[in-house]
Amino acid sequence: MRRAWSRSSRLPAVLATAGVAAGAAVANSVASAEPSPSAAAAPPPRDGHHYIPSSQGVSVVIYGYRSCPFANKVYAFLDHHKVPYSVVEVNPLFKAEAKWQSYKRLPFAIINGRQVNDSDDIIDAVAALVRQQRDARTTKLPASAAAHGASAGEAEAADHLAGSAALFAAPGSGGVRDLTPEEAEREDRWRAWCRDTFVHTLSPNIYRTPREAWQAFEYIGQVSFSSLYGLPAQCIGAAVMYLVGKKVASKHGYDPKDVRGEMYSRMRVWTSEGLAGRPFCGGDSPNRADLAMFGVLRAIYGLDAFTDLVANTDVSGWYERMQAAVGESSCYHRMFTQGTEMAAGPHAEAPLSSLAKEADRA
């Protein structure tokens, strides 16, 4: 349902001047699509952030923002392939949760104890590890996690991992299966198109107006940041990103009076050329290009930009097929902020038909 724009919602504009310097941290990683891949040894995250020991399979911890399209690309891949993971939600203003390491952008991941930066590199690193498991025929764990004193959550994750290894090995599973040269070229081309072309249309649209920028940062109130940190992050972040959205539109030559049209036209390229009359870019099942596009769109689900995109393009059929293929996002059930688990919030997805009904009632 469209949220009302009250006088209190003007707070970001009041704090904009004072908050530009502090809010630059938000712009540095949310607005940037420049990949900076690297992998370095890293200390394991705090206790409670692991669902499965690395000695038993693939252990993945993602550091990111809940609304970040690049982080949501990773979540979509992991959700689709049922790879267990946990998420450390980073405060977009202070970034205290990520200051133990030197990489300045988000997301980054700790995969089996090593740090991997950049969303595409994270996805490829997990895919390579699971492919190694498949090729080594290690689709079953040596013993139950419970027998080794694991918690109920770890045991459940271990079962998911064993199932996901079998899924990766299944023909037609998509994403991590062996591709023909033609399939690999198509997947790589459309992954790059999502990263280098489509994703740039998001910032100018979700931060198009002060009201929409405020709406985009309302998720801050749904995570367990204290009010001391959460409210400044929402206020300053919304104000700064409103300005950043304008800068991104100018940088890429978008019509400043019709950034919606710029987003619509690129989505029509995806639905016509990316899908090419097939259920998915990957054919009968999603490939990593499908999962990347789905992830960046799921990041803006429920915002005005998403509602308008569905209403003005033919993306809904593909998106609903992706919802069915990927399932509910685990990240909203495995979110951590300073060691505290966060329950799923109102950002969790509903079918597009439900969203349309809400829009009609608004």
Q: What is the pLDDT of residue 251?
A: 96
254: in domain: yes
24: in domain: yes
Q: What is the pLDDT of residue 44?
A: 41
147: in domain: yes
140: in domain: yes
Q: What is the pLDDT of residue 230?
A: 67
Averaged pLDDT in 10-residue chunks for the chain of 362 residues? 36 35 39 39 40 54 90 94 87 82 91 92 89 61 44 48 42 56 95 97 96 88 65 84 95 95 98 97 96 96 96 97 89 41 39 46 42
Q: How far apart are CA 271 and CA 268, in angstroms?
A: 5
Q: What is the pLDDT of residue 31?
A: 39
Q: How far apart are CA 105 and CA 112, in angstroms?
A: 20
248: in domain: yes
Domain span at residue 13? 7-361
2: in domain: no
pLDDT in tens, 181-221: 999 999 999 999 999 999 999 999 999 999 999 999 887 76
Q: What is the pLDDT of residue 128?
A: 86
Cα Rg, the chain, nearest whole Å: 20
Q: How far apart are CA 58 and CA 217, in angstroms?
A: 32
Q: How far apart are CA 133 and CA 87, in angstroms?
A: 23
64: in domain: yes
**Hey, what amino acid is at 346?**
P
> Do the Cβ atoms of 176 and 70 come closer than 8 Å?
no
Q: Specify the number of domains making up the chain.
A: 1
Q: How far apart are CA 271 and CA 267, in angstroms?
A: 6
> Do the Cβ atoms of 222 and 345 come closer than 8 Å?
yes
Q: What is the pLDDT of residue 161?
A: 46
Owner of token pair 């990240």: 331
Q: What is the pLDDT of residue 92?
A: 76
Q: What is the CATH number of the domain that holds 294?
A: 1.20.1050.10
Query: Strands 86-89, 60-64: parallel, antiparallel or unpaired by DSSP?
Result: parallel
Q: What is the pLDDT of residue 107?
A: 93
> Do the Cβ atoms of 81 and 168 come closer than 8 Å?
yes
Nearest alpha carbon to residue 103 among 42, 24, 50, 60: 42
214: in domain: yes
Q: What is the pLDDT of residue 318?
A: 98
pLDDT in tens, 9-43: 333 333 333 333 334 343 443 333 333 434 444 44
Q: H/E/C letters for each residue in the chain?
A: CCCCCCHHHHHHHHHHHHHHHHHHHHHHHHCCCCCCCCEEECCCCCCCCCCCCHHHCCCEEEEECCCCHHHHHHHHHHHHCCCCCEEEECCCCCCHHHCCCCCCCCCEEEECCEEEECHHHHHHHHHHHHHHHHHCCCCCCCCCCHHHCCCHHHHHHHHHHHHHHHHHHCCCCCCCCCCCHHHHHHHHHHHHHHHHCHHHHHHHHHCCCHHHHHHHCHHHHHCCCCHHHHHHHHHHHHHHHHHHHHHHHHHCCCCCCCHHHHHHHHHHHHHHHHCCCCCECCECCCCHHHHHHHHHHHCCCCCHHHHHHHHHCCCHHHHHHHHHHHCCCHHHCCEEECCEEECCCCCCCCCHHHHHHHHHHC
